[in-house]
Amino acid sequence: MSSFSFIHAADLHLGSPFQGLALKDAAVAAVFVEASRKAFSTLVGLAIERRVDFFVIAGDVYDGDWKDNKIGLFFNREMARLERAGIPVYLLRGNHDAASVITKTITLPPNVHEFPTAKPGSFKLEALRVALHGQGFAERSANDNLALSYPAPVAGWFNLGILHTSLTGREPHAPYAPCSVDDLRSRGYDYWALGHVHDYEVVAWDPLVIFPGNLQGRNIRERGAKGAVLVTVEDGRIEHERLIVDEARFAQVDIVVGPEDDQTAILRRVEQAVQPVADDMAGRMTALRVRLSGETPLHGAIAANRQQWRDEVEAACHRVHEDIWLEKLELRLVPPPERAADADGALDLRQLLAEHAGGADIAVEAGRLIDEIAVRLPGGLGATEQPLDDSMEALIEEARQLLLARGQGAA
């Protein structure tokens, strides 16, 4: 068996709009939009620099249908760079760029080879004795076990399966093309290049089954380093390494405050927690979520003056590093036990909320209000899983804290 190398990438999501960020800060959103393109350009540059023999993309090149041809032209430009370097590309469609989703086209250079969507297909690299097998999505939703229909391996060759799948389930990703590792193993291939899951994961070693993750984090759930995988095969021995190419990152810090902490102490804790994030940025802008929890007599004042506290926390982040942007301040604060009871004879607002805030009627009413607000949000944000950027339970808790703070202020 010959020696060769290839890059395994997936989930480029070119054209992702970062709508949630755009509502908070258009300039920051623009940085993340550009970061997605820069990450892919960097990866193409590494492919050329490392002189890989071929390039694999396991689905979701695009985030959805194009508003115009700009994103198609960008992808064509990068494919043309690989064409000039003599590097063929093998890709398939995932749920975001299924055949039924993408209506616009740009003619790509001849080095780009796309797997069929009606049934599995194969490409053979005779000089390398490599066979690539794959099937793309015809529709956005693929509920069948596609892997079981993949062809038998080519005897004596290196066989590579390419599949966009959730396997047996990877929350919060939708369950598309479900299958098990045993299903993959039954095909007798040497390597499985998977896509759809945005976290890097070595699923199995025999054979090697890998999710490379996406190239660029798109929201707070997609934190940490992002990139692709460089696979090297020498006389049948397979090695791989991650290629980190993301240009901007999401991060989160959790800070526990105590009853003795005043505002200065809390902000000092923020700076201390943010410092390791700053040390790991390596020139990347970072959108940071800060979660404050714990017991504090300041919980009412903080809830009642959330915007002021948000600004103070963002200022603390900037004192650590100018390229840390506060994506959200999340409050999970409670009063100390001795402050929990209301004054004698006063309305026990805390008890009243405890009795009713978790009721079914409150959840129904909250859902109705969220639906009313969601339809007024721009750019289709109301159709997302969390249109107000938080769960219903978290929003109800935030409202409860605000009511308690106002109730104390009126006492």
Structure tokens at 282: 């390596």
Q: Give residue 105's pLDDT.
A: 86
Residue with more model confidence, 143 or 401: 143
CA distances from 232 to 3, 148, 242 (A): 8, 26, 12
Cα 32 from Cα 200, distance rounded (Å): 20
Q: What is the mean pLDDT of residues 135-164?
A: 92
Mean pLDDT of all residues belonging to the chain: 86
Query: Mind listing the pLDDT tens digit for each residue in 103-124?
Result: 888 899 999 999 999 999 999 9
Q: Give residue 207's pLDDT.
A: 95
Q: What is the mean pLDDT of residues 362-389?
A: 62
CA distances from 6 to 54, 57, 244, 254, 356 (A): 5, 11, 15, 39, 59
Q: Give residue 369's pLDDT.
A: 76
Q: Give residue 307's pLDDT.
A: 92
Residue with more model confidence, 362 or 69: 69
Q: What is the mean pLDDT of residues 36-49?
A: 96
With cut-offs at 50, 70 and 90, classify the pLDDT of residue 343.
Answer: very low
Q: Give residue 103's pLDDT.
A: 80
Q: Give residue 33's pLDDT.
A: 85
Q: Give residue 66's pLDDT.
A: 79
Q: Give residue 348's pLDDT.
A: 55
Model confidence at 56: pLDDT above 50: yes
**What is the 3 state secondary structure string of the chain?**
CCCEEEEEECCCCECCCCHHHHHHCHHHHHHHHHHHHHHHHHHHHHHHHHCCCEEEECCCCECCCCCCCHHHHHHHHHHHHHHHCCCCEEECCCCCCCCCCCCCCCCCCCCEEECCCCCCEEEEECCCCEEEEECCCCCCCCCCCHHHHCCCCCCCCEEEEEEECCCCCCCCCCCCCCCCHHHHHCCCCCEEEEECCCCCEEEEECCEEEECCCCCCCCCCCCCCCEEEEEEEECCEEEEEEEECCCEEEEEEEEEECCCCCHHHHHHHHHHHHHHHHHCCCCCEEEEEEEEEEECCCHHHHHHCHHHHHHHHHHHHHHHCCCEEEEEEEEEEECCHHHCCCCCCCCCHHHHHHHHCCCHHHHHHHHHHHHHHHCCCHHHHHHCCCCCCCCHHHHHHHHHHHHHHHHHHHC
Range name among 281-285, 322-326, 337-341 with the lowest pLDDT average = 337-341
Share of the chain above pLDDT 90, in %: 60
Q: What is the mean pLDDT of residues 330-341?
A: 76
Range name among 171-180, 285-294, 391-400 with the lowest pLDDT average = 391-400
Residue with more model confidence, 249 or 143: 249
Model confidence at 141: pLDDT above 90: no
With cut-offs at 50, 70 and 90, classify the pLDDT of residue 73.
Answer: very high
Model confidence at 360: pLDDT above 90: no
Query: Mind listing the pLDDT tens digit for each residue in 203-252?
Result: 999 999 999 999 999 888 899 999 999 999 998 899 999 999 999 999 99
Q: If 0-12 CB within 10 Å is exposed, 13-18 middle and 19+ buried, where does residue 242 land?
A: middle
- CATH topology for 3-244 is Purple Acid Phosphatase; chain A, domain 2 (3.60.21)
Model confidence at 152: pLDDT above 90: yes
Q: Give residue 391's pLDDT.
A: 64
With cut-offs at 50, 70 and 90, classify the pLDDT of residue 345.
Answer: very low
Q: What is the mean pLDDT of residues 262-286?
A: 95
CA distances from 333 to 134, 195, 228, 330, 340 (A): 50, 39, 39, 9, 12
Residues in contact with 155: Cβ distance below 8 Å, sequence separation at least 6, in sequence order? none
Cα 396 from Cα 408, distance rounded (Å): 18
With cut-offs at 50, 70 and 90, classify the pLDDT of residue 310.
Answer: very high
Instruction: Read off the pTM.
Output: 0.81
Model confidence at 304: pLDDT above 60: yes
User: Could you give the dihedral angle defined by the CA atoms of residues 204, 208, 211 and 216, in that order, rounded to the nearest 10 degrees?
Assistant: 130
Q: Give residue 411's pLDDT.
A: 43
Model confidence at 396: pLDDT above 80: no
With cut-offs at 50, 70 and 90, classify the pLDDT of residue 394.
Answer: low
Cα 201 from Cα 181, distance rounded (Å): 13
